[in-house]
Structure 1
Amino acid sequence: MTDIVDHHKLFIGGRWVEPTGDDTIEVVSPVTEQIVGRVPHATPEDVDRAVAAARTAFDHGPWPRMTMAERIAVVTRIKDTVAARHQELAELITLQNGSPMLFAVRGQALSTVGVLAMTLAAAAQFEEEHERQGTGGPVLVRREAVGVVAAITPWNVPQLTIGAKLAPALLAGCSVVLKPSPETPLDANWLAGVCAEAGLPEGVLSVLPAGRETGAHLVAHPGIDKVAFTGSVAAGKAIMAAAAQNLTRVSLELGGKSAAIVLDDADLAVAVPAIVGGTCAANSGQACVALTRVLVPASRYDEVAGALTAAFGGLKVGDPADPATVVGPMVTKKQQERNLDYIRIGQEEGAKVLTGGGVPAGLTTGWYVEPTLFGDVTNDMRIAREEIFGPVVCLIRYETEDEAVALANASEFGLSGAVFTADTERGTEVARRVRTGTVTVNGFRLDLAAPFGGYKNSGIGREFGPEGLSAYFEYKSVNLPA
């Protein structure tokens, strides 16, 4: 894709229409620093149009009144089209955010197919209502669609995070107003076309690429019944505060500073590739679930540090379109500068750069950062406490297993994590003690069939699987005559 991808209209209520404003969003390649796409910038007035269409579709349209089987048929067509065109989708995402092609195919496009498939599987087993015996007679307990959903998604894994919201919302019978990140609007418009072709009824979906002002108007809109958001903690708090004014339901998937606990009996042939895969190779480190704190027993610190230094130092950094590239650019210059600032802060705090630490030699165009491993890190340093969102990883020593668990839990976040050990039962017991939403024993995995979300500042609610589908329903109790 070398030509500029140019959109002149907005997808509102299932139709491509003229925007109310004149502003455009220019999509800039993080590789070439050149414009690769343009879309209209949605205005608050466009939000009002989209919410009105969604409200009409939900309150009076056919979509929420269809059977689950009928909705499954439409969403299956969406899933099948995304699967058939997944390479095209992966290339579009790489064009926008610089995701390395290997990750763009597997972690972006095919993961989107996966979340659609797993949500469809959950919907096929869904029980709309059941009768139970109450204290005064029989009760019919129903689950009904929550209503109009505002879905706000980030730039790092745009389609996966859209799929995690759109699939359950649609299958529940909701209508959706989607606001993608201004860094990655092209794939959202691409998906709008796919949904229209699949036969999604008028009004059920709108796509509004925009920045914060328009997003704030959407979140605070009285016509919205639920906000589903993935992004930063600061933005999540602002959304929650705005939604509270209307008692709008919220689900928030926020940041992380996840710990990989390497126990004293761990096999480094297993642990090192998994840690690399869960850090620098995970979308160039731009992943909320990244294992950015590696907790190592003091007795094996030098061994682990040496193995990870060699692994990080051998990663290919460069053009994300090259299938051999493991680490691509940061999505924006601002994100590159953020990473480089934290690398400086880490050194000022007394941590030691074991490998990396700057901009890769020869890559003066594009927003690249070397895979960087810090040693001699303590858990009170900023680089160990704050989310950097890039290929920057901290090594932290511990003496006992209890101390390792305490260090893992000594964070305002609780999204992901891992435990490495030769004893799976021991690893599972340690995983049970870590206060985080997902923990993998001897690996790094985000399972699309299991509930995903965080403790503490990592968010509220869960996505994926039956639990993610349930988040788009309200319960109703119908008390029947005794």
Structure 2
Amino acid sequence: MKHTHDSLFIGGRWQLPIGTRRIEVYSASTEEPLGSVPEAGEGDIDRAVAAAREAFDDPSGWASWSPDRRGEALERFATALAKRGEQFARLVSGQNGMPISIGRMSEAVSGQLLVPYFAGLARSAPAEETRASLVGGSTVVRREPVGVVAAIVPWNFPQTLTFFKLAPALAAGCTVVVKPAPETVLDAFLLAEAVAEAELPPGVVNIVPAGREAGASLVRHPGVDKVAFTGSTETGRKIAEECGRLLRPVTLELGGKSAAIVLDDADLAGQLTAFFSATLLNNGQTCYLGTRVLAPRSRYGSVVDILTGLASSLQVGDPLDDATQIGPLVSRRQRDRVEDYIAKGIAEGARLTTGGGRPAGLDRGWFVQPTVFADVDNSATIAREEIFGPVLSVIAYDDVDEAVAIANDSDYGLAGSVWTADPERGLAVARRVRTGTIGVNGYALDPGSPFGGVKASGMGRELGPEGLTAFQQLKSVYLP
């Protein structure tokens, strides 16, 4: 079934685009067309921002509503999202190759989980507090919505990462312009249908599928008050530069090259399901994965053997098959990128233990075999740069101090994991790794806790109460 759309969701209604350009969407597993949508241009961006601006500035509009009233509307929104859960999962899997089992745990439920969560936070957190002034009198400190938000979303977890931004922004009283990535736009139209069904006020949510040029115009648009972006570090730097020039607040969740530290007492063979999720989830197309596996030299051979066995045993195939563990990459360009990194790994002397090519019998689709490299030095290209595919590099260390030093010797600092029979020991090591998030004997995002990175992995935090405050600004009112 092809999904064809001719209008954009702007100002609470479907509107014909100003231009005639379209975005064609292809199946990652068959390379066949899945559908097409209008490509928003700068004029459409202007209309979307104007609609969001009008909705935010309306004295009786969304921003002025009480948290309870907004919460009631957001509950309707969550219900509308829940009705479309399976559709979200299947649309995303078809577009970017995500195994449907992963889609059902992420894309299908992210909105219905995060929207009520942030609505509840907004209801329970006082909008203002009164403090005794140090110089006499008192001060009322208010938390107010930051304004119009530009939410720019990548293709790897498009719905989940949309709601990392959309849910807290709406709960805070902001209005939003969402720009989905061109590779995954069909699910964004399903999102628009849920917004319409929930009867959110016109202009509160606007959706403009577009490429980089229109995205850049959204970032610098004078009607935007804050930018929330998830994507590559390269693009994040450009956005940060623009927002710095404009003195515009920005949240950036960028790339990663995280370390999975296997301690000498770890029962890795007994933790393969959790280890897979922390290192190869979503075909390696996940920003937080621990693609640098640090193994003690005393156990190096056995760790390499275990990971080689894991990677070679994974079921590669149709992402819509419940049994598939590794699906295709999102596009031909992404497959070419991953294959280039594999070639660099071989050229620089790393030892390929499994994978490295395209799986037999899958002549259509952008597939790459799960790949493991041994004898990798932390200075190698495949250990320094984010590959974004199912490729692991196994690096040896002599003691825990060296393992921590290697983990920290990276431009990135988004995530990581520690594997050990002693959780307290794992926690002690985790505390020493310079990163925004890290897990012990697993890695799973907690929606109630802040998520984000340090160094080249970004700035600011999403999720948890901190994710709500990122869309609020403080005002102090001095009273005699």
Which residue of structure 2 aligns with residue 8 of structure 1?
Answer: 6
Of stretches 267-276 and 56-65 in structure 1, the one that deviates more from structure 2 is: 267-276
1:40 paired to 2:30: no
**2:98–2:327 Cα contact (<8 Å) kept:** yes
Q: Return the alpha-carbon distance in structure 1 between the equivalents of residues 110 and 296 of structure 2.
A: 34
Which secondary structure does the structure 2 equivalent of 1:119 belong to?
A: helix
**2:312–2:355 Cα contact (<8 Å) kept:** yes
C-alpha deviation, 1:307, in angstroms: 1.1
Structure 2 length-normalised TM = 0.98
Q: Return the alpha-carbon distance in structure 2 between the equivalents of residues 296 and 54 of structure 1.
A: 51
Structure 1 length-normalised TM = 0.97
Q: Return the alpha-carbon distance in structure 2 between the equivalents of residues 112 and 343 of structure 1.
A: 36
1:377-456 correspondence to structure 2 within 5 Å: 377-456=376-455
**1:222–1:246 Cα contact (<8 Å) kept:** no
Which secondary structure does the structure 2 equivalent of 1:130 belong to?
A: strand
C-alpha deviation, 1:275, in angstroms: 2.1
Superposed CA offset, 1:79-113 (max 9, x none): 22222321111011112111111011113222343
Which residue of structure 1 aligns with residue 350 of structure 2?
Answer: 351
Q: Return the alpha-carbon distance in structure 2 between the equivalents of residues 117 and 463 of structure 1.
A: 16
1:125 paired to 2:153: no
1:82-161 correspondence to structure 2 within 5 Å: 82-136=81-135, 137-161=137-161
**1:132–1:141 Cα contact (<8 Å) kept:** yes
Which residue of structure 2 aligns with residue 334 of structure 1?
Answer: 333
Residue identity opposite 1:89 in structure 2 = F
Which residue of structure 2 aligns with residue 286 of structure 1?
Answer: 285
C-alpha deviation, 1:204, in angstroms: 1.1
Which residue of structure 2 aligns with residue 57 of structure 1?
Answer: 55
Which residue of structure 2 aligns with residue 243 of structure 1?
Answer: 243
Residue identity opposite 1:49 in structure 2 = R
Which secondary structure does the structure 1 equivalent of 2:279 belong to?
A: coil
Superposed CA offset, 1:217-259 (max 9, x none): 1101111000000000011011111222321110000000011
**1:40–1:209 Cα contact (<8 Å) kept:** yes
**1:182–1:209 Cα contact (<8 Å) kept:** yes
C-alpha deviation, 1:77, in angstroms: 1.6
Superposed CA offset, 1:294-321 (max 9, x none): 1010011111111111111000001111
Q: Return the alpha-carbon distance in structure 1 between the equivalents of residues 93 and 411 of structure 2.
A: 31
1:222 paired to 2:234: no
Which secondary structure does the structure 1 equivalent of 2:375 belong to?
A: strand
Distance 1:436 1:62, change over 3 A: same
Q: Return the alpha-carbon distance in structure 2 between the equivalents of residues 440 and 212 of structure 1.
A: 34
Which residue of structure 1 aligns with residue 186 of structure 2?
Answer: 186
Q: Return the alpha-carbon distance in structure 2 between the equivalents of residues 326 and 415 of structure 1.
A: 24
RMSD of aligned Cα (Å): 1.1
C-alpha deviation, 1:196, in angstroms: 1.4
Superposed CA offset, 1:354-400 (max 9, x none): 11111001111100000001111110001001000010011000001
Q: Return the alpha-carbon distance in structure 2 between the equivalents of residues 121 and 402 of structure 1.
A: 43
C-alpha deviation, 1:116, in angstroms: 2.6
C-alpha deviation, 1:270, in angstroms: 4.3
Which residue of structure 2 aligns with residue 365 of structure 1?
Answer: 364
- Number of residue pairs matched by the alignment: 478
**1:118–1:464 Cα contact (<8 Å) kept:** no
Q: Return the alpha-carbon distance in structure 2 between the equivalents of residues 345 and 46 of structure 1.
A: 42
**1:154–1:181 Cα contact (<8 Å) kept:** yes
C-alpha deviation, 1:342, in angstroms: 0.5
Q: Return the alpha-carbon distance in structure 2 between the equivalents of residues 71 and 219 of structure 1.
A: 26
**2:260–2:418 Cα contact (<8 Å) kept:** yes
Which secondary structure does the structure 2 equivalent of 1:122 belong to?
A: helix
Superposed CA offset, 1:53-91 (max 9, x none): 111111115100100011111112222222232111101
**2:111–2:167 Cα contact (<8 Å) kept:** no
Of stretches 300-309 and 74-83 in structure 1, the one that deviates more from structure 2 is: 74-83
**1:146–1:174 Cα contact (<8 Å) kept:** yes
**1:11–1:206 Cα contact (<8 Å) kept:** yes
Which residue of structure 2 aligns with residue 18 of structure 1?
Answer: 16
C-alpha deviation, 1:288, in angstroms: 0.2
Of stretches 342-351 and 89-98 in structure 1, the one that deviates more from structure 2 is: 89-98
Superposed CA offset, 1:399-443 (max 9, x none): 010100011110010001101111111111111111111111111
C-alpha deviation, 1:197, in angstroms: 1.1
Which residue of structure 2 aligns with residue 163 of structure 1?
Answer: 163
1:286-325 correspondence to structure 2 within 5 Å: 286-325=285-324
Distance 1:8 1:53, change over 3 A: same
Which secondary structure does the structure 2 equivalent of 1:327 belong to?
A: coil
